Amino acid sequence: MLAKATGLTFFRALSFSLFVYTGAGQMAAVTMLAQNVAYVIIIFTVFINKLYMSLTIFLYLLKCLQSLILSALRAFFLLW
C-alpha cells in the first residue's frame, strides 16, 4: 500500500519484497525513495536494518543454545 501510494510500479514493489526481508527496511526505503534521497543512503539504511535484525536473531539463537546446553548438562548430571 505504501509503495503504491508513493508511485512505485508493481515490479519495484515486488523487488522490495524479494530483496529486502525486513518490513522496517522496506518502509524506510520506500519512504526515502518518495523523498528523493540518494540511493547510497537508502542502501546503507537498509543494510544497517538488516544487520540489526540478523544480530537480534543470532543473539536469540545463542541464548536458546545456551539454555539447551545447560538443560542437557543438568539432566546428564542428575542421571549419574
pLDDT at 41: 92
Q: DSSP state, 1?
A: -
Largest CA distance in the chain: 67
CA distances for 29 relative to 49, 50, 78, angstroms: 11, 12, 53
User: How far is it, in rounded angstroms, from Cα 31 to Cα 35?
Assistant: 6
pTM assigned to the model: 0.63
The pLDDT confidence band at residue 80, using thresholds 50, 70 and 90, is low
For the chain, what is the domain count?
1
Residue 68: which domain range?
2-79
Cβ distance 17 to 26 under 8 Å? yes
Model confidence over 8-55: pLDDT tens digits? 788 877 777 777 777 778 888 888 888 888 989 988 988 898 888 889
